[in-house]
Structure 1
C-alpha cells in the first residue's frame, strides 16, 4: 500500500491517512473527546490503538465549517497485528494460502522489511474499519453529553453513535495515484480483454472484484448463445414456431453456465485467500433495537428482540403486503393486455405507419411502468425489512433479497408467461420480450451511465471552481479532495447490480428461444455495464470498504433457481411447438406426458452434472486438504509436547 499524503497524530507520529471519520457538526465536545480517546488508547485498555488527526473542511452549504472531521491511520505494526485478528489469508513461502500470523510474518511471501506493501490498501482500510467497529463500551452508562444514547457493556461504540446520528459517516479515502493506474487499465482504454480483477480486488476488495468477475464471465458465456441466435434470427425471422433446437441449446447452456462459474469463483477466492477464511462473529445491526438482555453466546449485554414477535411481523404484515403488491402487478399486466387489444384493433381498422407504430406503444409504456414499480417496491421492501428488526445484517439482506426477487420476477416475467402459455401467441411473445428488454436496457443505461457521468462532471466543476476562487489554478489540495469525497454518493453494495444481471439471465434463459437476439442485446448491455460501473466506482461513489467474500452468496442460489424454472419453461415451449405437436396429432395427454418426462430427465441431468462437476477444482481441494493435514499434525505435536512437559512440572 502506497499513500503519498501524510498526517500527524496528536502525539506527533506521522501516518498515512486511510479512513475519514465525520461526526455531526453539532456533536458535543465531550463526546468527541471521549471517542478520540478510545480510538487512540492502547488495546490492553480497550482502545483501538489507532492514529487520528483532525481536519476542518467546508460544510455542505459551503458556508460553515465542520470541525469534527478526522483522518484515521495506523502504524504498520498495528496493521499487521490487525491482519491476524481479522483472519487474513496470505501466500506462504511454499505457495499455499495460509492464515496470517504476526509471529510467522517473515515466512510469508512478499513480506519484506517492516511489511510496507505487504497488505493491500483495501485490506488496510478493512482492518481499520474492523478495529473501529470492535470498540466496546466499558462502564459508561451513556455517550458523554448524550444521556439518551445509552451504552451497554460490550456494545459497539461506533454502531451506537451511528444509530443516534452522532457519527455521520465513516469512509475510506481514495489513493489518487493508484486510482489513476487502475482507471487506465480498467476502463479508460477500449479493449477486448479481461478485466484486471486482481487490481480491482487490491483496491476495492474481494466482494466487488467477484461481482466484476461474474459480470465478465456471464458476458463471455453469452457469446455462444449470441452466435447461435444471430443466424437463427436472420434466416428464420418469419418462422416463429421453429425454436426447438435453440430451446434445447438454451437448456444445456443455462445448466453448464452456473456449474462452471462455481469453479471459476472458487479459483478466484482461493487465490485471494477468502475460500477457507472463517467469517468473523456477526455483530448486531446499528438499527437493531430491543429490551436490554444477555446474549447467551457472547455473554454481553445487548438489546434482545423476541423472535416470535419478528415472525408475527413477517407473516401478518410483510407477507400480505408482498401478496398485495403481486396482485397489483398482475392487475397492471391485465391493463397492458387491454392496451394491446386496443392497439391491434386500431391497426386492423386503419392500417398505416401511425397505427403500426402504435402497436409498440403498449409494450413500451408497460416496460416503463415495470421499472417504476420495481423502484417503488424496492423502497417499500427496505422499509418493511427494517421494520421487521432483524438482528444480523446477513438475515436482513436475505429477507430483503427474497422480497425483491419474488416481486421483480412476477413483475417482469408474468406477462411473458401469460402470452406464452395462456394466449400461446409466439408472435406477441417475441414482440413483447424484445420491447421489454430493449426499453429496460435503455432506462438502465440512462440511470447507470449517462446520469452518473453528468453528475460527476457537475460535482467536479463545482469543486474546482471553489478551489480556484481560493488558490487560483492549482492542483486540487488534500483538504478539498477529502470534502469532494465526503460529498460523493455512498455505494450501497452490489445488490442492484446482481439484481439487474439476474433479470437479464431470466430474459435469456426463459424465452430467448423465441427471440434469439436477447443474448446479443444482453452482451452489448454488459459490455457497457462494465465501463459504466467501473467509472462510477472510481469517480461517482465514495470508496467502499472491502467486503471479504468467497462467492456471490445468496445470488448463486437465485441464479440456480432461475435455471430450474428455465428447464420447465423451455420444455413447455418445446411442447407448444407445432414441430413437436405434429407427432401427437390425436392425444394431448401423450404430449403432456412426453414434455413432463423430458423435463424430469433434464432436471435429473442438472443434478448429475452438479454432482459430477465439483464446485472446487481438484488441485485446490488437494491444497486445502494438505493444509488441514498440516494443521492436525501440528496440533498432535503440540499435545505430545505438552504431555511430555507435564510430568516434569508435576515432579
Structure 2
C-alpha cells in the first residue's frame, strides 16, 4: 500500500525501483504533509562568519512567525524546508470573508489548496526582514542564500504531464481548471488567453492564405509582370561609383514576388484584420468572464489581497502609503525619452548598414550576390536587426527595472504594471523602428539624379520599380521566422539540459531512498514522515530544474503580444503572418506547458482575475494596426498609383478597350534622366553599348520638377488613408458595442451567487440571535 497525496496535498512518493515496500508501520498515525518552500545556501563552516550570522538571523525570524524550518545538509549545500502553520491560512480565509470585494472568492470556503499555501508563504518570506533591515531578495544578492523555490507536487505534476504537458497532446484542449489549481489563476489565464488567441487566428490565417492564393492565381496573367519581364528599359545606376546601368527585366523575379503580396486583396484583408483585432479582444473578455466567474475571483481586488497578505504576515503592519513625486515622474519621462532616442538611433544605424552594404555587395566576386545586391542587403539588414533585438532585449529589461526603482511604487502589482508598460514600449520601438523606416521612408527621401540624399557618402536606397512593399515583406518574414524559431529552440533546450542534471542527481540518491522506505521516520510529535534522504531527493530534483522568477510568465506574455503586433500592424504587407503565428502558437502552447511542468521549477501561484495591463496594451496595438495598415496600403503599396492610373491615365481611361487597363503602368511610373548626372563608364551596358538616357522610379519631368500626376496620386493617397481609418474605426466601435463583455449566463450566475451569500449571512445572523436567547 502506497502513500498517496489527497487534495489537502499529502505527499506522494514514487514506488522505489528496488522493490522495497512503503507500508507504514503505524497506519493510524497522521501522515506528515509536505513542505511549502525550500531555501538553499552554501555550507558555511565558520559560525562567526557574517553570512552565517545573517542566515541564522533570517531563519530565526521565520521561526518567530511559527514557520517550521527543517535543515538538511548535502555536500556543499544546506537546504531549509519551510512549512507554515494552519493558523496563518485560517486567518487568511477569515480576512477574505470579511473583506469588501472578496467575500465570495474561491478561497473563502473549503480546504486551503497547495497553490494558496505557496502564495502566502512566498509573500511572508519575501517580507521578512532581519535586524539589519535586509529581506530575502537582498540576502540572495549578497550570497547569504543561493536560491529559493517552491516544490512541485508529484501527483498533480504527473496528472498534468499525462493530459497536457506532452507533445502527443498537441491538438487537444487545455485543462484550464487543473492548471489554475496547480499554478494559480495568473498562469491559467495566460494559457486561456493564448488558447483563445490561437483559436481565433484560424479564420485570419485562412483568409491570409486566400489572399496569397489570389495573388498566385493572377501570377502569370498580370500585365505588370509581363511588362517588367519583357521590357528593354535601361535603369539608372543604383550607386555612385561602381554601379552601372541595368535592365528592368533583370528584376523579373522580384516583380513576381511583389505581385503576390501587393494586390487588391490586401486592402480587404487589412480591413478584416483591424476589425478582427477588436473582435478578438471583445470575445476574449467574454471568455475570461466565464472562467473567472467559475473560479470565484470575478470580484477579486488586488489592493485588498495585498492588504490581507500584509496582515497575515504581520498583524501590526501599517498600510503602504501612495506616493507621487513630480520630480521622479519628470526624471523617468526624460530617461524614457532618452532611451527611445537611442533605440531610434540604432534603427538609423541599421539604415546606414543597408545603404553601405548594397554598393559593397554589388562589387563582390560572386555573381549571384552582386546581381542581387539590394535583396541580399535587405536580408542581411533583417538578420542584423534580429541580433540587435536580442541584445537590446537585455538592455531594455535592465533599464526598465532601474526606472521602476526610481519611481518607488507602493506595491509589487504597481511595479509590475509600470515595468510592463516600459519594457513593451522599449521592445516595440526596438522591433518596429526599422520596419517603420522600410514601410514609410524607404525610397521617398532619396532624391533624384543630380541631387541624391546621402548618408556617410552613400546614396540612400531606392524603391524597386514594382514597389516598396516587398522590402517590408522580406524584413517581416526574416524577423518572424528567426524570432519565433530560434526563441523556441533556446526556450526548450536550456531547461532540458538542466533537467538532465536533475535526473542524474536524483539517481544518486535512489538506492539510499529505497532503503529509507523500510524504516520508520517520525517528526518531534511522533508523526510518520519520509526520511531526510527522501526529502533531499525531491528537493534536489526541484533544485536542478531551470530557475523561474517573477519575469518567467512576463516573458511569455511579451513574446505573444509582440507576435500579435507583427500579425496585425503590418499584415497588409505580409498576409501570411497570421498563418505563421498560428503554426507557432500550436507548438508554443505545448512547449510552454512542457517547460513549466517538466523542465522548470514551479512558478509561485499568483491570484488574479484578468491578464492585467496587457489588455490595455492589446487595445493600443489594435488602434495602431488601423493606422499602420491604412498607411501601408495608402503610402507604401502601389494600390493607389495603380488605381489612379487605371481610372485616369490608363488605356481604359482614354477610351482604348482592346488592351488591359493596366498596360503601360510600369513605364508611366518611371522618369528619365540623361547621362550628364553619372560617370561615363556607368552608362555602359553589360553588352558594351553606351546609353545617353536611363530611367528611375518617380513622377518627374525632364527638369526634375514634379508632375501633376504626382500631386494627384499624393492627394488620393491621403484621402484613402483618412477614409480607410474612419471606416475601420467605426466598424471597430460597432463590433465593440455589439459584443458585450459579460455573457448573460455569467451575469445570472453572479446574481445567484450574491443572493445566496446574502441569504447565508442572514441565516448566520438569525442563528447567532437564537444562540444568545
Give me the whole-angstrom Cα distance separating, in 1, the residues matched to 2:54 and 2:435: 58
For structure 1, the residue ranges without an aligned partner over 5 or more in a row are 41-49, 90-96, 106-114, 136-141, 151-156, 287-297
2:548 corresponds to 1:490: yes
Q: What's the Cα RMSD here? A: 4.0
Give me the whole-angstrom Cα distance separating, in 2, the residues matched to 1:531 and 1:473: 37
* Equivalent of 1:15 in 32, 35, 39: 32
Q: TM-score, normalised by structure 2?
A: 0.66
Check 1:427–1:617 CA distance in 2 against 1; reply closer, same or farther (3 A cut): same
Per the TM alignment, residue 245 of structure 1 is displaced from its structure 2 partner at its CA by 2.0
Give me the whole-angstrom Cα distance separating, in 1, the residues matched to 2:182 and 2:761: 36
Give me the whole-angstrom Cα distance separating, in 2, the residues matched to 1:65 and 1:639: 52
Per the TM alignment, residue 535 of structure 1 is displaced from its structure 2 partner at its CA by 1.9
Give me the whole-angstrom Cα distance separating, in 1, the residues matched to 2:136 and 2:471: 55
- 1:338 is matched with 352
2:576 corresponds to 1:565: no
* Equivalent of 2:746 in 620, 630, 650: 620
Check 1:29–1:191 CA distance in 2 against 1; reply closer, same or farther (3 A cut): closer
- 2:262 is matched with 241
- 2:603 is matched with 544
Per the TM alignment, residue 565 of structure 1 is displaced from its structure 2 partner at its CA by 0.3
2:193 corresponds to 1:218: no
Check 1:587–1:436 CA distance in 2 against 1; reply closer, same or farther (3 A cut): closer
2:339 corresponds to 1:325: yes
Check 1:393–1:101 CA distance in 2 against 1; reply closer, same or farther (3 A cut): closer
The worse-fitting range, judged by mean Cα deviation, of 161-170 and 536-545 is 161-170
Give me the whole-angstrom Cα distance separating, in 2, the residues matched to 1:163 and 1:460: 28
- Structure 1 or 2, whichever has the larger Rg, is 2
The worse-fitting range, judged by mean Cα deviation, of 338-347 and 349-358 is 349-358
SS at structure 2 position matched to 1:195 = coil
Q: Deviations over 1:274-297 (max 9, x none)?
A: 11223353659x9xxxxxxxxxxx
Give me the whole-angstrom Cα distance separating, in 2, the residues matched to 1:369 and 1:610: 37
Q: Deviations over 1:325-349 (max 9, x none)?
A: 2222222222222332344335655
Check 1:494–1:35 CA distance in 2 against 1; reply closer, same or farther (3 A cut): same
SS at structure 2 position matched to 1:17 = coil
SS at structure 1 position matched to 2:509 = helix
Q: Deviations over 1:120-141 (max 9, x none)?
A: 4323433554676788xxxxxx
- 1:85 is matched with 95
- 2:223 is matched with none
Check 1:328–1:594 CA distance in 2 against 1; reply closer, same or farther (3 A cut): same
Q: TM-score, normalised by structure 1?
A: 0.77
* Equivalent of 1:388 in 393, 399, 407: 407
Check 1:245–1:608 CA distance in 2 against 1; reply closer, same or farther (3 A cut): closer
- 1:125 is matched with 118
Per the TM alignment, residue 426 of structure 1 is displaced from its structure 2 partner at its CA by 0.7
- 1:35 is matched with 61
2:279 corresponds to 1:262: no
- 1:207 is matched with 186
**Maintained 8 Å contact 1:219/1:526:** yes
**Maintained 8 Å contact 2:105/2:299:** no
**Maintained 8 Å contact 1:84/1:100:** no
Per the TM alignment, residue 55 of structure 1 is displaced from its structure 2 partner at its CA by 3.1
Give me the whole-angstrom Cα distance separating, in 2, the residues matched to 1:32 and 1:579: 68
Q: Deviations over 1:412-453 (max 9, x none)?
A: 112212211222611111111111111212331232122221
Per the TM alignment, residue 4 of structure 1 is displaced from its structure 2 partner at its CA by 2.8
2:545 corresponds to 1:530: no
Check 1:39–1:233 CA distance in 2 against 1; reply closer, same or farther (3 A cut): same
Per the TM alignment, residue 27 of structure 1 is displaced from its structure 2 partner at its CA by 4.2
Give me the whole-angstrom Cα distance separating, in 2, the residues matched to 1:19 and 1:230: 50
Check 1:184–1:13 CA distance in 2 against 1; reply closer, same or farther (3 A cut): closer
Check 1:14–1:250 CA distance in 2 against 1; reply closer, same or farther (3 A cut): same
Per the TM alignment, residue 191 of structure 1 is displaced from its structure 2 partner at its CA by 3.3
- 1:439 is matched with 482
Give aligned pairs, total.
577
- 1:588 is matched with 714
* Equivalent of 2:162 in 184, 193, 202: 184
Aligned pairs for 1:416-435 (under 5 A) are: 416-423=435-442, 425-435=468-478
- 1:368 is matched with 387
Give me the whole-angstrom Cα distance separating, in 1, the residues matched to 2:767 and 2:534: 59
